[in-house]
Amino acid sequence: MPSHLNKLIGVSAIFLVSACGGSSDDPAPSEPAPPEPNPPRQVEFDPSRCVQQAGTPYGQTVALQGNNMMVASADVDASAAGCKVLAQGGSAIDAAIAVQAVLGVTEPFGSGIGGGSVITYYDAASGKVRVFDGLSTAPAEVGGVDTIYKATAQDVSTTAPFNVCKSGLDEGESISSQQGNTNISGRAAGVPGTLAVLDMVHQAYGKTPWNALWDDAIDLARNGYPMSQYMYSTLYSDTGEYDDDGNPVSAGSAVSAWVNSAGTVKGAPRCSYPDINARYCEPSDATRQKPLAVGTTITNPELAASMEAVRDGGARAFYDPAGQIAPAIIARLTTDQLPCRSLLPSPGTPDAPAVASTIARIPSLMTAQDFGAYRAIERKPLVGKHFGMTIYTQPAPSFGGVVTLYNLGLMERKHLADTTFNGTDYLHLITEGSRLANADRRNVVGDPAYSNVNERVATLLSSPYLDTRAALITDTALAAVPEGATAEGIPAFAATAPAAFDPMALSGRATMLAGAQGASHDEDWNTTSNFAIVDGYGNALSMTTTINTHWGAHIEAAGIMINNAMSNFSAGAVGADVNGYEAYKRPRSSIAPAVAFDDQGRVRLVWGSAGGGPIPDYIVKTFVGHELYGMDLQAAMNADNFTGQNGTAQVEAGKPIAGEIANLISKYGNTAGNAQPTGLTSGLSGISVDYDADGMPVYRGAADYRRNGGANGY
């Protein structure tokens, strides 16, 4: 390390936001004034000072305090790698690359370079917040069908090596049930965007060379890391818990790849999938159900080689259609999945579901050229002012930012702070708000390049509309949650031309084609990964990264687990469904990393969460716990979870909060059908910022005790 980095140097101390974007209550505000000059702040760059948060992983109760720099993530090794980069003089995006690289090794079930990511970035020098979209996209070829669940001409071919997916299947008919085999197959894979978005932000804000950020991850992949308690739980349940969708898994049972919405059919155990089995499961288990024991060393030399190629050749080494990585992924997703096969068992019952004895092989329609065509996108931030704070978060196609700001707007109007945290009255208000927010976002949020999404979102987050929706929250729980309508000011759906879309515009395109909405699709739950970083220069980053559901498509290529993000598309017709399947389109997502500023324009909170569809509820829980109720950030994250994601009030099973269900029913008229316990495994991480008497920042880093992470900094 250069000797000058060991010195105490002055950098800006007070983080004043000048920002791109406007308030949720005013879709077209004037630009705020630029930040005023900041007083000097002394920061020491010394890797030997990096400290891991006490009690991590799984046992942390108090956030880690520091005055220089901080990283919080879902894996202790990833946080340590990020702190080392920061302590050597790196920026927040430099550390983010190192953190993501390690997560791709140690959390292959949650994220990696085979997935997609979004980044919310605060640049202290300019005082601006920028958001970047690296979500996975649909390939150019979608087979002439309007959902991934319908058979293409290739799927029904009787000519080898294609052959028919299912006996008697005709083109355009269902390959398999939604939430079934298709979701866990090559057909559900999207073009990965994580490396592209990291490269985009690094070009803007990187200080450390790209090729100096990968070695910790490469060493772990090549030399080994231990099977974590959390990774094990994604494959097998020793004591009884819940799967990705909140379905109960009995003690001593393997976790199935999927469960249908009726609970009558389960997919094969995850260890039955050959790529998962070969690296992460017990080789002596003839039933192909048991993972390696917790603590067992895992290596991935193929991933190490892929990361070495990316380290030395940059992101272009991954996206080059004529390179080594993209063609290897395409071969694994296409020809290696032939002949096409999707066999579902006859349904059982919810008490005795049938379990699939085979896994699906449904090839992707992706080509290597799709990799070469991929581009990350900078978008206009979604901004809201609630409870005296200004929050910058992700816009569409993420619905997480919309739900976060929407529910906070409702809770402000319903005076949430007058209730007891996680008490009956609190849970009534906040779950009713979540139910309303999720009902509205389903038919409004999708890829804004393909319809007037941004115009419609602006209405959802406007003061008049939130006033109207807040009035629906009364002393009696809603029996059914009404969706907003054009009568309440929501513009009608209108398809638009993607080529004319400006991602930095505040609203959508002009009306071209109106149409009815398609069926909604329930997003999966306990998935993805998140991390937060504040560097020694005052820059802040929150990034959520995902291969979609746990273990993605359950397919590994070049050592990389591949996403199944296309399962996030709805099943409605093209041109009518805001989240319908189309070439190059990005399916909506729940991920919404955020940065919040106080009334003086100073950074106050940098945070986000993993956890699938309920992600915005976890983000809201942490915000109100910390900001309204004065809880330590770690305590706010550890607090029991709730969601209204699927139209019902659901709370975290096995926790004290589950005892409130009876009170919700007796006091607020909920029923057993709309107030339930379920599995809600969040994956929060974040950094709070207080200021001492001299106005100098004091950081507190925290990571959800439900996962394998923790903060690291000083």
How does DSSP assign 101-151, residue by residue? HHHHHH-TTT--TTSEEEEEEEETTTTEEEEEEE--B--S--TT-SSTTB-
Tens of pLDDT along 689-714?
Answer: 999 999 999 999 999 999 999 999 99
Helices (H), 155-213: 194-205
Q: Which residue type is seen at 17?
A: V
Scored b (16 or more CB within 10 A) or e, 245-279 reads: bbbbbeeebbbbbbbbeebbbbbbbbbbbebbbeb
Cross-strand bridge partners of residue 42: 10
Closest among 266, 292, 267 to 277, alpha carbons compared: 292
Do 607 and 591 contact (CB within 8 A), yes or no?
no
Asked if 421 contacts 48 with a C-beta cutoff of 8 angstroms, the reply is no
Residue 683 has pLDDT above 70, yes or no: yes
Q: What is the mean pLDDT of residues 72-90?
A: 98
Residue pLDDT, tens place only, 623-676? 999 999 999 999 999 999 999 999 999 999 999 999 999 999 999 999 999 999
Distance CA 92, CA 82 (A): 9
Q: Are 568 and 523 in contact (CB under 8 A)?
A: yes
685 sits in the region (left: phi over 0; alpha: psi -120 to 50; else beta) called beta
Which structure tokens are listed for 415? 């005076």
| DSSP per position, 322-384 | TSSHHHHHHHHHTGGGPSPB---PPP--SSS-EE-SS--B------HHHHHH---EEEPPEEE
pLDDT at res. 165: 86
The pLDDT, as a whole number, for residue 686 is 98
- Answer yes or no: are the C-beta atoms of 89 and 202 closer than 8 Å: no
Phi then psi for residue 347, to 5 deg, are -60, 145
Give the list of residues 6+ apart from residue 359 with CB closer than 8 angstroms, or none: 181, 184, 257, 267, 268, 272, 273, 554
pLDDT band, very low/low/confident/very high, at 513 (cuts 50, 70, 90): very low
Query: Mean per-residue pLDDT for 128-143?
Result: 98
Mean pLDDT of the chain: 91
d(CA 654, CA 677): 8
Owner of token pair 């980095």: 5
**Residues 340, 239: contact at Cβ < 8 Å?**
no
Pairing between strand 513-514 and 494-495? Answer: antiparallel
* Residue of 646 and 199 predicted with greater confidence: 199
Residue 394 has pLDDT above 80, yes or no: yes
The confidence score (pLDDT) of residue 144 equals 92
DSSP line for 460-484: HTSHHHHHHHHTT--SS--SSPPPP
Higher pLDDT, residue 273 or 247:
273
In 3D, which of 138, 132, 626 has the Cα closest to residue 373?
Answer: 138
CA angle 134, 138, 141 (to 5 degrees): 145
What digits encode the pLDDT tens for the residues 583-595?
999 999 999 999 9
What pLDDT, on the 0 to 100 scale, is given for residue 354?
94
* pLDDT at 209 (0 to 100): 98
All structural domains of the chain, each given as residue ranges with its CATH number in brackets, are 70-140+190-224+372-479+522-713 (3.60.20.40)
Q: pLDDT value at position 39?
A: 57
pLDDT of residue 301: 98
Higher pLDDT, 303 or 515: 303
pLDDT of residue 278: 98
Q: What is the pLDDT of residue 277?
A: 98
User: What type of residue is 573?
Assistant: A
Asked if residue 121 has pLDDT above 80, the reply is: yes
Q: What's the confidence (pLDDT) of residue 506?
A: 58
Q: What is the pLDDT of residue 178?
A: 67
pLDDT band at 305 (very low <50, low <70, confident <90, very high): very high
What span, in angstroms and rounded, lies between the C-alpha atoms of 502 and 396?
13
HSE of 60, CA atoms in CB hemisphere, 13 A: 36
| Position 95 pLDDT exceeds 60 | yes
Q: Is residue 712 exposed (0-12), middle (13-18) or buried (19+ Cβ within 10 Å)?
A: buried
Q: What is the mean pLDDT of residues 550-556?
A: 98
Position of tokens 């800006």?
12
Q: How confident is the model at residue 27 (pLDDT cuts 50, 70, 90)?
A: very low
Q: In the 8-state DSSP scheme, what is residue 633?
A: H
For residue 279, the model assigns a pLDDT of 98
Do the Cβ atoms of 387 and 206 come closer than 8 Å?
Answer: no
- Across 402-550, the runs of DSSP E, i.e. the strands, are 494-495, 513-514, 529-534, 540-546
Q: Measuring CA to CA, which residue among 198, 594, 163 is closest to residue 342? A: 163
Task: Judge whether 628 and 414 are in contact, CB under 8 Å.
Answer: no
Q: C-alpha angle with apex 267: 265 to 272, nearest 5 degrees?
A: 150
Predicted pLDDT at 425? 98
Angle between helices 424-442 and 400-413 (to 10 degrees): 140
- What whole-number distance in Å separates Cα of residue 667 and Cα of residue 689? 38
